[in-house]
A and B are shown apart, each in its own frame.
Chain A
Amino acid sequence: MRVPFEWLRELTGIEASVDDVATRLTNAGFEVGAIHRAGEHWDRVVVGEVARIDPHPNADRLNLPTVNTGSEEIQVVCGAWNFEVGDRIAFAPAGATLWDPYADEPVLKELKPTRIRGVVSRGMLCSTKELGISDDHEGILVLDADAPLGRPLAEALGGEVLEFELKANRPDALSVLGIAREAAALYGTKVRSPIPEARPNKDGSSESVVLGIEDAALCARYSAALVRDVQVGESPAWMRDRLEQAGVRPISTIVDATNYVMLELGQPLHAFNWDTVRGGFIGVRTAQPGERLVTLDGQDRELTPETLCIVDAEGPVALAGVMGGLDTEVTEKTSTVLLESATFDPISIRRTAHRLNLRSEASRRFEKGLPPELTVLALRRCVQVIEEIGAGRGEFLTADAYPAPSDPAPVSLAFDRIERLMGVAYDRSEVRQTLSALEFGLDEDGDELCVTPPFWRRDVTAPADVVEEVARLVGYERIPDTLPTGQVMDLAPGEIDERDDEVRDVMAGMGFAECVTYALTSEARMARLVPPDLLDVPPEAPLGDADAWAAMRETAMNDAGRTLTDRLLPLDREPLRLRNPLSTEENALRLTGLGTMLETLRANRRHADRDLLLFDYQPTFLARDGDLPEEPNFLTAVIGERVSASRWNETGTVELPFVRGVVDELLSRSGVPVAEASHDGLQHPTFAAGAAAAVTSKGRLLAAYGEVDAEVAAAFDLDERTWALLVDMPAVREASAGAPLFSAWSEYPSALRDLAIVVDAEVTQAEVQDSIQRAGRPLLQSARLFDEYRGEQIPAGKRSLAYALSYAAPDRTLTDKQADRAHNRVVRALQHRLGAELRG
């Protein structure tokens, strides 16, 4: 809300500077977002007089006014025509600084002499937009005839305007008077109320106005005043200036007067053309089925049954609190006006304004809840203003319906409640004085204080509210710094798992950069995780239907793939969708972070050709019927094709064992040792055939990793080999053995033996390792694979595996003979069980 400072001064008599007032009001809870200083940039703009207007020799649309600045006459070229010889206008000579009316953003620019169609222009007649007063760029600003010639415009027009960012709990502060009350309390001055005393209506003049409120819950009070001999025309300059400074566009006397009073007192008013209201009746009720109304904006609206309307004897004439009707609009021909000043139900107004997308200065005030006491005060003031500007003569109150009067309830609290809550003492006289300054009624009974809020402070209903009034008016500077004492908790519900930190640390330690990505995504983005020919579906259902997925589960996945689809990559589930998405690009909550991470990889690939190792560890959202969704933290990692090797420009290509190394490290650091996780081939459309694995422990899927299918990668604009890793961390936690336990090793030297064997290509490394472990007991300490070979030097269909074996006994140094004996047992077992041959 914009409050002209001079208006605030008028109501408070405060002498302090605008900056001081802004700071104190801000600290007291009325945040001044900006102080607009009209004329700040008008250093050379002056009041000028049009001395002569000549035609432009080369352009019919332009004219050549000569401006008298009091000291000289200057000819300019002008495109506006809304002025005459003798008018006082805002004149900017060359060298002045003005707002550029054609720029999208506010830009100041210096005015230079320019030649326009052959005539030199040495200045400019200004529009309000160029001066930064309003957005109006139609025609130049014509000043009052008594504007002082040659004086800086800032003196004639300027003034500071405070722009408040007001909170939802103080409808009373949506007015100059409301702000004035706060300011007066802060500065210890007295508010000069602009509201006149009541006066009796003249005998016999009162035409009857019949009021009918159907439901007091929807309209607590309806007050009306008749104004006769109405003169609709332009309002005087002082009123137009104030309205403009407050950001309201002047229209005509009656409308301007109602807006002026709304700004001043916070009560919205509406003016009906009484001549067009049928039956001398005004009622308030909800619309009946089929009723329509043409509103002031010319729209013919069908009224829904919950819409609160103002009706005359025959039907709706206005949307209560939101917008008037066209038929009863005040025009230049109107002779009698009925002023409406009412208290409507905030919720009803809010709903109607939202539904019709018609939020106005009036509806904003109604929906915060206005006090019924205000209606009659605002009418008096409005009629007084109308009479003052010569726009009619009226009654202060013609009719008033207030079916169920209510007063704000008093609030009781013990004096020491204030110190108990604030942690600092306030003495009683200070409390009394502060609350009195805010016009609260006070009553005391020993240590108990009974506070009656003024009618405009219906937000104060509980002791804490009263405490806040005292604390904020005295100032929060009073509050000292202390630290909370007392007991602390042992464990809180929903405590964050510290192991989540470790997951991030381990991944970062392995070279991955942590990403934090959006949870909002689109179904289309998730659908790109499956090759398009498998999911041939219409764009409106990009994730396909149950049949497509059933077929895919059957033909394109093995058991591991199906298990992966059940939870960790649940692309066949319905995602949670937004009812009001910002765009179709982010209309759903993610089922997996993989799509977003592939996009992130692609974006980074544009400026890096190696070491693209990224992970994301944020929730995904799995819907549950009638309950909140499950929000498991799945870890998603993606890896680009090349990683740095040991010298400056050496790179290696990522292969499956690279990713496996990451998985092993992460799982074992999370309490699932390598020996307890089994890795099996994974067939799933997101992953390349034969280059992916699923990790299970005790029958539960923990992770999946592998090369991303080339078609899927291409859908994300990636034309290189790309690797992905998905980990179900909650499942890993459940499979975890907890904190690692110490196991002792042999203190005696180990005997090392290498072993290279040739086996059928179908024999897996796991089988070989298993045989080695079994046969090597009890002396075998470890068997580390160090090479794999397929090629010319061994027969087709075979491969060679090489291991480094280490033997040791817990209680003695092994002799060569003992180590050989153990090693030979391993060799024989491999030959016997797996048909292995020793190599070279």
Chain B
Amino acid sequence: MQERLDALLSAARAELSVATDDAALEQWRVTHLGRRSEVTGLLRSVGSLPREERRAAGQAANAARRELEAAFETRQSELRRSADGAQVDVTMPGYPVRLGSLHPLTRTLREIRRVLAPLGFRAVSGPEVEWDRYNFELLNIPADHPARDMWDTFHVDDKARPGELLLRTHTSPVQARVMEQIQPPVRVIVPGKVYRYEDRSAKNEAEFMQVEGLAIDEHITMADLRGTLTHFVRMMFGPDRELRIRASYFPFTEPSAEADMSCHACGGKGCSVCGGTGWIEILGSGMVHPKVLADVGYDPDVYQGFAFGMGVERIAMLKYGVTDIRSFYRNDLRFLRQLR
């Protein structure tokens, strides 16, 4: 009996493997699983066997039948799959997914915050319309000081206090605002919009974003400033970046430094991005001027620290290869979708 079943199974399997359409499959099913099929016949004939053989023979025949049924189903689904496969063009585009986008400046600001947060810098904000006192005087830039020429200023028409209200020219006034309210240690960054009375061009905006950094404590040094900036440019622009700082002048820092990073486009060999110099100017910085500390009520013999300020558009332009600063404010969807 078992030999017959084995022979039957192998013959049926061979036939099944060459059945390639529904008709052949149905024909096979009738032949091998139908009422007149051999396996059905064998099952029926079990009753006529001697009693001691019946049990084993019945089990064997049933197993064979189940095996045939399973083979049939497997073959059937195989054939279905290949038939469907022929109908689907997997190169068709997907249906439109309406996902929006964050502005590249928002993304850049978040990245700056993310890089500096682990160093203890908390992000704070301050008013965009500011008093002259905070924008200039408390930053060691008294009225009629020639350094005021460094910031072309929009003045707000204000009858109540004429000449005092302006659009902040940098985020630095928030330094004074924070220090007035709390005692050291201070470690903040200040992202936000600033304004310059300047004609708009590919290189200059009348409105743009800045991020200010400020760290004040008893022992914060210029080396800490340099280390913080090096960490920053490497996190933003890659671990191979080198930082160079050189002497500069800002009324609210002493010593002051401008920071350049080795060009991320050419690695410092010189290219069109860095104007052939291998270096890209990235921000201004320095040790907070003792006068600024004293004016907010800190003892400059006890406390010291650093400040830095950078243009967010400039960072974003370098990161994304944007060449016209005004692109950020045109809000063309083609631009916004590219840089999301």
A618 in the interface (beta carbon within 8 A): yes
Chain A residue at minimal CB-CB distance from B120: A488
A464 touches B93 (CB 8 A): no
Contact of A511 among B98, B160, B224, B289 (CB under 8 A): B98
Contacts of B155 in A (CB 8 A): 578-580
Contacts A476-B247, A579-B156 given; indicate if A603 touches B329 (C-beta within 8 A). no
B178 in the interface (beta carbon within 8 A): yes
The stretch among B35-43, B48-56, B252-260 that forms the contact with chain A is B252-260
List A566-605 residues whose CB lies under 8 Å from chain B.
576-582, 586, 589, 600, 603-604
Chain A residue at minimal CB-CB distance from B149: A168
A71 in the interface (beta carbon within 8 A): no
Contact flags A511-542 to B (C-beta < 8 A → 1, else 0): 11111111110000000000000000000000
A169 touches B249 (CB 8 A): yes
Contact of A491 among B122, B206, B230, B287 (CB under 8 A): B122
B178 touches A579 (CB 8 A): no
B125 touches A494 (CB 8 A): yes
B227 touches A480 (CB 8 A): yes
A669 in the interface (beta carbon within 8 A): no
A733 in the interface (beta carbon within 8 A): no
Whole-angstrom CA separation of A281 from B77 in the bound complex: 116
B330 touches A603 (CB 8 A): yes
A482 in the interface (beta carbon within 8 A): yes
A489 touches B185 (CB 8 A): yes
The stretch among B8-16, B63-71, B126-134, B261-269 that forms the contact with chain A is B126-134
Contacts of B197 in A (CB 8 A): 580, 582
Q: Could you count the A-B residue pairs with CB atoms below 8 Å apart for me: how many are there?
A: 279
Rounded to whole Å, the gap between the CB of A307 and the closest CB of chain B is 15
B147 touches A168 (CB 8 A): yes
Q: How many residues of B contact A (CB 8 A)?
A: 99
Whole-angstrom CA separation of A168 from B304 in the bound complex: 24
Contacts of A481 in B (CB 8 A): 223, 226-227, 230-231, 243
Contacts A350-B146, A518-B207, A519-B193 given; indicate if A465 touches B102 (C-beta within 8 A). no
B100 touches A515 (CB 8 A): no
Q: A interface, how many residues as a size bin?
A: 35 or more
A168 touches B249 (CB 8 A): yes
B246 in the interface (beta carbon within 8 A): yes
Contacts of B79 in A (CB 8 A): none
A479 touches B223 (CB 8 A): yes
Contacts of B248 in A (CB 8 A): 29, 31, 167
A647 touches B333 (CB 8 A): no
B161 in the interface (beta carbon within 8 A): yes
A646 touches B95 (CB 8 A): yes
The stretch among A198-206, A244-252, A289-297, A421-429 that forms the contact with chain B is A421-429
A621 touches B332 (CB 8 A): no
A313 in the interface (beta carbon within 8 A): no
Rounded to whole Å, the gap between the CB of A705 and the closest CB of chain B is 17
Contact of A631 among B98, B127, B181, B332 (CB under 8 A): B127
The stretch among B17-25, B82-90, B214-222 that forms the contact with chain A is B214-222
Whole-angstrom CA separation of A368 from B174 in the bound complex: 27
Whole-angstrom CA separation of A613 from B101 in the bound complex: 10
Whole-angstrom CA separation of A479 from B217 in the bound complex: 19
A648 touches B95 (CB 8 A): yes
Contacts of A327 in B (CB 8 A): none
A504 touches B222 (CB 8 A): no
Contact flags A145-161 to B (C-beta < 8 A → 1, else 0): 00000000000000000
Rounded to whole Å, the gap between the CB of A36 and the closest CB of chain B is 16
Chain A residue at minimal CB-CB distance from B281: A31
List A621-658 residues whose CB lies under 8 Å from chain B.
621, 625-626, 628-629, 631, 643-644, 646-648
Whole-angstrom CA separation of A613 from B146 in the bound complex: 47
A409 in the interface (beta carbon within 8 A): no
Contact of B247 among A28, A369, A489, A509 (CB under 8 A): A28
The stretch among B26-34, B103-111, B317-325 that forms the contact with chain A is B103-111
Rounded to whole Å, the gap between the CB of A25 and the closest CB of chain B is 10
A607 in the interface (beta carbon within 8 A): yes
B336 in the interface (beta carbon within 8 A): yes
Contacts A168-B150, A488-B187, A604-B333 given; indicate if A472 touches B119 (C-beta within 8 A). no
B199 touches A495 (CB 8 A): no
Whole-angstrom CA separation of A468 from B288 in the bound complex: 12
Contacts A476-B245, A613-B100 given; indicate if A504 touches B106 (C-beta within 8 A). yes
B240 in the interface (beta carbon within 8 A): no
Whole-angstrom CA separation of A116 from B195 in the bound complex: 54
Whole-angstrom CA separation of A747 from B323 in the bound complex: 58
Contact of A519 among B128, B217, B254 (CB under 8 A): B128
B120 touches A489 (CB 8 A): yes
List B174-220 residues whose CB lies under 8 Å from chain A.
174, 177-178, 181-182, 185-188, 191, 193, 195, 197, 199-200, 206-207, 209, 215, 217-220
Rounded to whole Å, the gap between the CB of A645 and the closest CB of chain B is 8
Contacts of B3 in A (CB 8 A): none
Whole-angstrom CA separation of A464 from B305 in the bound complex: 12
A467 in the interface (beta carbon within 8 A): yes
Chain B residue at minimal CB-CB distance from A643: B98
A614 in the interface (beta carbon within 8 A): yes
A483 touches B333 (CB 8 A): no
Chain A residue at minimal CB-CB distance from B94: A648
B247 touches A422 (CB 8 A): no
Contact flags A478-509 to B (C-beta < 8 A → 1, else 0): 01111111111101111110000100110111
Rounded to whole Å, the gap between the CB of A286 and the closest CB of chain B is 16
B147 touches A626 (CB 8 A): no
B100 touches A514 (CB 8 A): yes
A351 in the interface (beta carbon within 8 A): yes
Contacts of A625 in B (CB 8 A): 160
B273 in the interface (beta carbon within 8 A): no
B191 touches A486 (CB 8 A): no
A421 touches B156 (CB 8 A): no
Whole-angstrom CA separation of A628 from B161 in the bound complex: 11
Whole-angstrom CA separation of A603 from B128 in the bound complex: 27
A520 touches B206 (CB 8 A): yes
Most buried by A among B95, B174, B243, B246: B246
Contacts of B81 in A (CB 8 A): none
B101 touches A577 (CB 8 A): no
Contacts of A217 in B (CB 8 A): none
A347 in the interface (beta carbon within 8 A): yes
Rounded to whole Å, the gap between the CB of A523 and the closest CB of chain B is 12
A626 touches B160 (CB 8 A): yes
Whole-angstrom CA separation of A483 from B234 in the bound complex: 14
B100 touches A29 (CB 8 A): no
A80 in the interface (beta carbon within 8 A): no
A351 touches B177 (CB 8 A): no
Contacts of B161 in A (CB 8 A): 626
Contacts A367-B146, A423-B224, A495-B122 given; indicate if A514 touches B187 (C-beta within 8 A). no
B228 in the interface (beta carbon within 8 A): yes
Whole-angstrom CA separation of A621 from B144 in the bound complex: 28
Contacts of B100 in A (CB 8 A): 507-514, 613
Rounded to whole Å, the gap between the CB of B16 and the closest CB of chain A is 40
A821 in the interface (beta carbon within 8 A): no
A420 in the interface (beta carbon within 8 A): yes
Contact of B122 among A420, A476, A489, A619 (CB under 8 A): A489
Contacts of A505 in B (CB 8 A): 102
Rounded to whole Å, the gap between the CB of B83 and the closest CB of chain A is 24
Contacts A29-B247, A350-B144 given; indicate if A488 touches B185 (C-beta within 8 A). yes
B99 in the interface (beta carbon within 8 A): yes
Chain A residue at minimal CB-CB distance from B98: A511
A576 touches B129 (CB 8 A): yes
A120 in the interface (beta carbon within 8 A): no
Given A464-B254, A504-B102, 9 more A-B residue pairs with CB atoms under 8 Å apart are A367-B146, A479-B222, A489-B186, A507-B100, A513-B340, A514-B101, A519-B195, A576-B156, A619-B193
Could you show 17 A-B contacts with beta carbons less than 8 Å apart? A168-B145, A350-B146, A421-B255, A424-B221, A464-B287, A476-B245, A479-B245, A483-B224, A493-B181, A496-B124, A501-B110, A508-B100, A514-B106, A578-B156, A603-B331, A614-B333, A626-B160
Q: Return the 3 tightest CB-CB contacts between A and B, nearest first.
A: A423-B223, A423-B221, A29-B247
